[in-house]
Amino acid sequence: MAILEANNIKAGYGETEILHGVYIKVNKGEIVSIIGPNGAGKSTLIKTIFGILKPTKGKIILDDQDITGLNPDKIVRAGMCYVPQTENVFPSLTVEENLEMGAFIRNDDCRDRIKEIYEIFPDLKQKRRQRVGKLSGGQSQMVAMGRALMLDPKVLLLDEPSASLAPNLVEMIFEKIVEINKSGVAILIVEQNARVALKLSDRGYILAMGRNRFEDTGEALLNNEEVGKLYLGG
């Protein structure tokens, strides 16, 4: 059963069309990866799904609700949160202040949710009074994910969460992603570490030049010779 579905999406910047009719689906409980070369349109697709860019064509459905053309604040309320590829934290604020910022539309006391976030990311609890700008790349990425989780989303969009992290931290971030998924959040993730991402993904899509190229289970994509040669570095 689909929790998120985008169909025939056309979008771009100004006159330049980048996505030429892309589709993607995330079922309840799934981790789904979007893989593809630099400039393929992966971030553009995520930004369009989250309402930062408006599609010129196509339809986006979140949990049976048509969210096409809605602004991000409405989409957050509909149950989807997004961690951008860059500049995804407030460096001058502390860890806990960053988490509080993530709860901006909650009217209730967000203490309980912060506690749950610290259970997923125990390292952050220790650093709660530190400015995020002083943290390591891995810790900062955990803050960004924790902030997006403050609103208890049904779907989490992650754009390259492991970019520029050391290999052991890449693994740690992916372990966290699996843990978040097990807590009941469907996850759509864009990744350059394609093999690692596909290994833990239920399904994956390969995007190239703004079009769908391959779509299969994570395992089948990893075992697909053509995909390996063209998109996974051999």
Chain residues in the site for Mg ion (CB under 5 A): 42-43
Q: Are 175 and 31 in contact (CB under 8 A)?
A: no
Q: Which of residues 28-67 bind ligand ATP (CB under 6 A)?
A: 36, 38-44
Considering the complex, state which of residue 39 and residue 91 has its C-beta at the smaller distance from ligand ATP: 39
Q: Interface with ligand ATP includes 164 (CB under 6 A)?
A: no
Q: Interface with ligand ATP includes 148 (CB under 6 A)?
A: no
Considering the complex, state which of residue 60 and residue 114 has its C-beta at the smaller distance from ligand ATP: 60
Q: Are 208 and 40 in contact (CB under 8 A)?
A: yes
Find the shortest distance in angstroms from Cβ 112 to ligand ATP. Answer: 35
Q: Are 22 and 41 in contact (CB under 8 A)?
A: yes
Q: Interface with ligand ATP includes 113 (CB under 6 A)?
A: no
Q: Please give the Cα distance from 50 to 45 (Å, whole number).
A: 9
Q: Please give the Cα distance from 54 to 12 (Å, whole number).
A: 8
Q: Interface with ligand ATP includes 139 (CB under 6 A)?
A: no
Residues present in the chain in total: 234
* Residues in touch with ligand ATP (CB under 6 A): 13, 18, 36, 38-44
